[in-house]
Amino acid sequence: MINDLANRKGELFPGNIIDCRHENNNFYFYCDNNVILHVKAITDKIIRFRYAVDGDFPKDFSYALSETYQPEEPSLEFKEKTDHFRITTNRIIITIWKENLSVRILDKSGTILIEDERGFHWEYDRETGNNVVKISKKVQSGEHYYGLGDKAFNMNLRGRRVQNWGSDTYGYGKNSDPLYKNIPFYIGLHQKIAYGMFFDNSFRSYFDFAAERSNVTSYWAQGGEMNYYFIYGPELVEVTAQYTNLTGKPELPPLWALGYHQCKWSYYPEAKVKEIAAGFRERQIPCDAIYLDIDYMEGFRCFTWSKEYFPDPKRMVQELAQAGFKTVVIIDPGIKVDKDYWVYQEGIANDYFCHRADGPLMKGSVWPGLCNFPDFTRPAVREWWAGLFKELMAAGIKGVWNDMNEPAVFEQGTFPDDVRFDHDGHACSHKKAHNIYGMQMARATYMGVKQYAFPNRPFTITRSGYSGVQRFASTWTGDNIASWEHMWLANIQCQRLSISGYSFAGSDIGGFIETPSGELYIRWLALGVFHPFCRTHSSGDHGDQEPWSFGEENTALARKFIQLRYQLMPYMYTTFWQYVTHGTPMLKPLVYLDQYDSETYLRMAEFGLGENLLICPITQPEADGRWLYLPRGNWYYFWNDELTAGGKEVWAEAGLDRIPMYVQAGAVIPMYPVRQYVGEKEIEELTLHVYFKNGAHQSTLFEDAGDGYGYVNGECKVKKFATAGTTKSLNVQQNTTGNFTPMYTTYKIILHGLPFAVTVAEINDQSIAISAIEKDEVLNTYTIYTQPDFQTLTVN
């Protein structure tokens, strides 16, 4: 028994199992030195492992987990053998060895998925009384590692050590670590089988992927519990989807949030904001949202307006709204110490701010000067904070942007370790609360914006966050630089966030620090329009960064790419709906598209967007194309319909007016006409681009009002398009479910890549005149107009 603190030196290990208890899905293994392992089978594929070292478990609490997740009950078998216990689910077999409490998990075919090396062990930290909890696992043959949020590393993490301690990292670079977010979740892939590992511990944590010892992967945290979730795939997409179900999915955003956003630090005064807004409309460059950075406030006091720059905010916001712009404002956590400022007064009067260990308030400088900081881990503080948005929302603000919530302070980067937090009734220090602070701020903001936006949907964005933050806000990758390397990084970071459960992400297009060349801006924008969150943002001291700031030719290109985003909006929205309903990552790195092809394991430029598109940005100057790896299957080059078989490297020709972009054969891609903003005009016609495949394929389209909560009650439509092609025919079937009737009355169906000349066409078994079909001789496409309720279309 380890009950003498003097003996708690160095690394400590579990003893041998002497007892075991089992209740439904819960299994408790008791060791002879007071260590307990609690194994909980959440589903057949998700198993939680939780260790206690002092003979008892503290109260169970996590900010990460979704409150609405309804796991499917596992079916379990439990056996005791001479030297081990065995828990078998429908999908995996968990072995717990009596000696040392060592764990191993196999799939049903007997392949080892994970296996403890030294397993769970810990060190007692006298200074804090915390246990540094550690676990080490054997690296399986040919194992690769992915995930962990916004890390600025190569996609594949093997050979890396990474840290989770959210940090304000202005001008970070490739391999800088840690960055703003804390997502202690990774995905392992070996023998073509994928699994996930979520270490739900908010203390400063580290992951070592075969870096220190080439045959060992380990992770540890500076306090808290060894508490991890093993997630079985075997598909990569399935691993991310289950992690996302566990930690929660966001609601559907308002459709306009998938439009183009324009930001700068800062647009002021009002005349400047208006000029920028008008600049979009004059040039017919679509844009939905315009941002006000910190200068809109009075001396950077949150929830105030500068009287000089914005004398009548409500009027301005309304005028912008009439021109189709939704106004988004920044709100930071730091509340200026100012006895005459109402937010400060309320915070002080109700004791809402964080305290140091010995009692004084936590003080630190941010933009407004000396500030106090709300303890967002207290329910009453979150309620108060949510209520503060009332006036802003009444002024017509449509979205709120949370920044500096790592939390950042100028003096020493972040709060000192001794700062106290309520932690929802589990009082703790900054060591434990640091990594979840930003998420709880985003949560409080979301509560307020949601309440006052109702019956419309809220829009929020946050810089920092912990696992589960995706429920409360979209995000961006922070203060990047206008360089080609940073554009390359933006591509990796957004994919990595997406497979880490956080799809609604984007980068500051063109770079936040410094000024991009026109070429870099256009290449970056061409990538950004395929990210779920699409915003140009830059720091004011480095020149202009509006889409028209780089000469006429580039303005035309910027317009073209932003228009493409608006055309693809129904596709992006459908992809978002799939994320919201199934947890499917919106962006998928190449390996997620084909984990059975090891060529995909180390590549990272190419990514899938939704079901049917493959994108690969050009991240070098003066290129007229690039080599990329096309996954197996047949793909159409979007720009000229050229058909290429994948499973090999291909050259994609892409001057500045293109981004390498492929459509999967068999796909149906829905497109809207270009609008200058969502809601500008009714959509009268939906275009369906159908790409011929010799074989069968299925595509999805989700439609609803694009705002409000009707979809929750079934006011939405899910359309499934099944295509089936032969060398002589193509059939398209449409199956719909749900109750929603879009405004448009026509489908414009464009058939691409038919290997035969159309002589007969039938819709719902009624033949249509060939003369009614438009043929494009250059692209070899056929266009047919029909009703949105058609069921089957056949051409041969």
Which is catalytic among the residues 143, 238, 479, 707? 479
The two structure tokens encoding residue 657: 């007016």
The least CB distance from residue 451 to ligand GLC, in Å, is: 25
Q: Is 707 in the site for ligand GLC (CB under 6 A)?
A: no
Cα–Cα distances (Å) from 316 to 273, 275, 326, 789, in that order, read: 9, 12, 11, 42
Minimum CB–partner distance for residue 343 and ligand GLC (Å):
18
CA distances from 792 to 702, 756, 759, 760 (A): 19, 19, 17, 14
* Residue 782 identity (one-letter amino acid): Y
Are 57 and 36 spatial neighbours (Cβ–Cβ below 8 Å)?
yes
Q: Which of 258, 330, 534, 686 is close enough to bind ligand GLC by CB under 6 A? A: 330
Q: How far is the CB of 658 from ligand GLC (least distance, A)?
A: 30
- Residue located via tokens 């932003």: 562
Structure-token match 């972040």, residue found: 414
Which amino acid would we find at residue 641? D
Size of the site for ligand GLC (CB under 6 A): 10
Q: How does 658-690 read in b/e, with b if 16+ C-beta sit within 10 Å? A: bbbbbbbbbbbbbbbebbbbbbeeeeeebbbbb
Find out whether 749 and 793 touch, Cβ atoms under 8 Å. yes
Neighbours of 583 (CB within 10 A): 22
- Give the Cα separation of 158 and 186 in Å (integer): 11
Whether 541 sits among the annotated catalytic residues: the reply is: no
The nearest distance, CB 267 to ligand GLC, in angstroms, is: 11
CB nearer ligand GLC, residue 343 or residue 663: 343
- The only residue of 150, 225, 270, 403 in contact with ligand GLC, by rule CB under 6 A: 403
∠560-561-564 over CA atoms, to 5°? 90
Distance, in Å, from the CA atom of 549 to the CA atom of 555, rounded to the nearest integer, reads 7
CA 305 from chain centre, in angstroms, equals 31
Minimal distance, residue 403 CB to ligand GLC, in Å: 5
Catalytic residue, chosen from 150, 403, 546, 703, is 403
User: Binder to ligand GLC among 265, 296, 341, 571 (CB under 6 A)?
Assistant: 265
Closer to ligand GLC by CB, 116 or 293: give it: 293
* Options 150, 406, 479, 546; binder of ligand GLC; rule CB under 6 A: 479
Q: Does 375 interact with ligand GLC (rule: CB under 6 A)?
A: no
C-beta of 582: minimal distance to ligand GLC in Å? 31
Q: Position 420: which residue type? A: R
What is the smallest separation between the CB atom of 554 and ligand GLC, expressed in angstroms? Answer: 23
Is there binding between residue 478 and ligand GLC (CB under 6 A)?
A: yes
Residue choice 177, 293, 406, 546 for contact with ligand GLC (CB under 6 A): 293
Site string for ligand GLC, 156-175 (x = CB under 6 A): --------------x-----
For ligand GLC, which is the closer residue by CB, 227 or 262? 262
| Residue type at 152 in one-letter notation | A
Question: Of 375 and 403, which CB lies nearer to ligand GLC in the complex structure?
Answer: 403
Is residue 406 at the binding interface for ligand GLC, with CB under 6 A as the rule?
Answer: no
Rounded Cα–Cα distance for residues 189 and 217 (Å): 13
d(CA 61, CA 428): 12
- Tell me if 179 sits within 8 A of 169, measured CB to CB: yes
Indicate the residue among 382 and 463 with the shorter CB distance to ligand GLC. Answer: 463
Give the residue among 205, 121, 109, 218 at the shortest CA–CA distance from 165: 205
Window 208-247: contact mask with ligand GLC (x via CB under 6 A): ----------------------------------------
Minimum CB–partner distance for residue 727 and ligand GLC (Å): 54
Pairing of β 508-509 and β 535-536? parallel
By beta-carbon proximity to ligand GLC, the closer residue of 293 and 546 is: 293
Among candidate residues 165, 163, 65, 147, the one with its CA nearest the CA of residue 435: 165
Report the site for ligand GLC in 448-477 (rule: CB under 6 A).
463
Q: Which is nearer to ligand GLC, 310 or 566 (CB)?
A: 310
Residue 480 vs 664, nearer CB to ligand GLC: 480
Nearer to ligand GLC, 29 or 296 (CB): 296
Q: What share of the chain is helix, strand, coil (3-state, %, to 5)?
A: 20, 35, 45
Find the residue with minimal CB distance to ligand GLC: 265
Core vs surface per residue 257-284: b (16+ CB within 10 A) or e: bbbbbbbbbbbbbbeebbebbebbbeee
Does 479 qualify as catalytic in the annotation? yes
- Residue 406: active-site member: yes
Residue 294 binds ligand GLC, judged by CB under 6 A:
yes
Q: Which residues pair with 668 in a beta bridge?
A: 690
Nearer to ligand GLC, 164 or 402 (CB): 402
Half-sphere exposure at residue 424, Cβ-oriented, CA atoms within 13 angstroms? 10
CB of 170 vs ligand GLC, minimal distance in Å: 6
- Choose between 545 and 687: whose C-beta lies nearer to ligand GLC: 545
Element (H, E) at 766: strand 766-767
Contact string (CB under 6 A) for ligand GLC, positions 521-540, x = contact: ----------------x---
CB of 439 to ligand GLC, least distance (A): 17
The closest of 443, 437, 442 to 414, measured between CA atoms, is 437
Instruction: Tell the smallest beta-carbon distance from residue 457 to ligand GLC (Å).
Output: 23
Q: Work out the number of other CB atoms within 10 angstroms of the CB of residue 239.
A: 29
Marked catalytic residue, from 406, 606, 611, 703:
406
Binders of ligand GLC among 96-125, rule CB under 6 A?
A: none
Is 467:501 a contact under the CB 8 Å cutoff? yes
Residues classed as catalytic: 403, 406, 479
Q: Under the rule (CB under 6 A), what is the footprint of ligand GLC?
A: 170, 265, 293-294, 330, 403, 463, 478-479, 537
